[in-house]
Structure 1
């Protein structure tokens, strides 16, 4: 490593780790209806570093870089929490940089090492605010303001937790209030908590715990599990995935309406998303009903001749949720 490159890396790391009082901070503000995790890339001359993850709830901001920014470019990668299923945030960007699954700082982020994976980053151009700081916004096509983003985020988590607050539009009304009241009552929570800063953490925890309604997946293995769900409303069967379930966590796939049948498939994977095998057999949990899946994010209502459309025929198990909640626990054999 040359002296110049070493100096550049030290400069970038000082930007990524500085906790000193800042002359100008960079803030990320979330105007999406999802709780997101963001990673920042700092491109400075001949070196690029990344840092993550910064969790940002709907309608909140978080400082991700402190001090006057002298870097050539600032880049961003964002992902929604795994409980939302396949990422609703477009996975695109002109730069491919390294990230890790858990919190990380990577000094040389263009050559991934063990435990690191490549991710698409997009260059951002923050806006300078009246107080001299810089701000960049995460937004979705609905173009919510802060109040709408917060309410839409609550509606979305209520739906995943098994309470009907549809449509997810950031507009308050009797249906949303009834769903919220039912959620609070089921968790013995007072109405005051809704206005507290930690309310989204409370809701996220609720979504990742077994539920008395709908379908719950719980991962009792030491591996990451990727799951897919399918619903049959009597007219068509829609399969979609993937939902990431971390070890020791539970998750509720979003099942809208009142389907006549529900199906489930799950598979344990390693850090590179390759199937875990035990005695040369994939560690998965499914059944005999053949439905269409593919390796990347998917949703399809066509279940015939999967290979001709770029899909794979996968065996799903039927799940009976007609009598209330059903929890499927994925464990080692």
Structure 2
């Protein structure tokens, strides 16, 4: 059928079904690993996770105060993720799980022998998402603020 022969009723139904699909499915929750910066300054973030065959550490995402970023897209594939973040004033969100990092943008496979391989050795804090979580959001806050 060529466009000049389409009835107004057909066009209305087509438009209505398209709008319904956008409303019904467009707002569906996405399964992602996100991080939100609720601190008062910009933060730089690195994430470490297992990809099924080994450890991968990636960085840096730079998030302004009040900003959120998806660090991994799709359903979560593991229970444990590790995050390291630092702010513009030298403050850190760190832990005792050591991973390899570097000063500029990176993707590093493996977490062993960081210094020998020419990387920094950085302490990450652990995020336990639970066994069945499909998505997760980490909220970074200033040390003197209560967690949100």
Other-structure match for 1:305:
113
Report what 2:65 is aligned to. 247
Compare 241-250 and 216-225 and name the one that shifted more: 216-225
Q: Using the alignment, how far apart are the partners of 2:127 and 2:49 within structure 1? A: 10
CA distance in 1, matches of 2:30, 2:136: 7
Which structure has the highest strand share of the two?
Answer: 2
Structure-1-length-normalised TM-score: 0.32
- C-alpha change, 1:257 and 1:219, in structure 2 (3 Å) is closer
Structure 2 segments unaligned to the other structure (5+ residues): 1-21, 144-148
* Aligned positions, number: 119
TM-score when scaled to structure 2?
0.68
Q: CA RMSD in A?
A: 2.5
2:36 corresponds to 1:218? yes
Task: Show CA shifts across 1:22-77 (max 9, x none).
Answer: xxxxxxxxxxxxxxxxxxxxxxxxxxxxxxxxxxxxxxxxxxxxxxxxxxxxxxxx
Return the structure number with greater relative CO, CA threshold 8 A, min gap 6: 2
Residues 200-247 of structure 1 show CA distances to partners (whole Å, capped at 9, x for unaligned) of xxxxxxxxxxx7733221111221100011111342000011001111
Tell me which residue corresponds to 2:86: 267
Conserved 8 A contact 1:233-1:258? no
Distance verdict in 2 for CA 1:182–1:225, change over 3 Å: farther
Alignment match, 2:137: 327
Q: Partner of 1:263: helix, strand, or coil?
A: strand
CA positional deviation for 1:313: 1.0
Structure 1 segments unaligned to the other structure (5+ residues): 1-179, 187-210, 270-275, 278-282
**Contact residue 31 and residue 74 of structure 2 kept, 8 A:** no
CA distance in 2 between counterparts of 1:256 and 1:300 reads 20
Q: Is the 8 A contact 1:212 1:326 kept in 2?
A: no
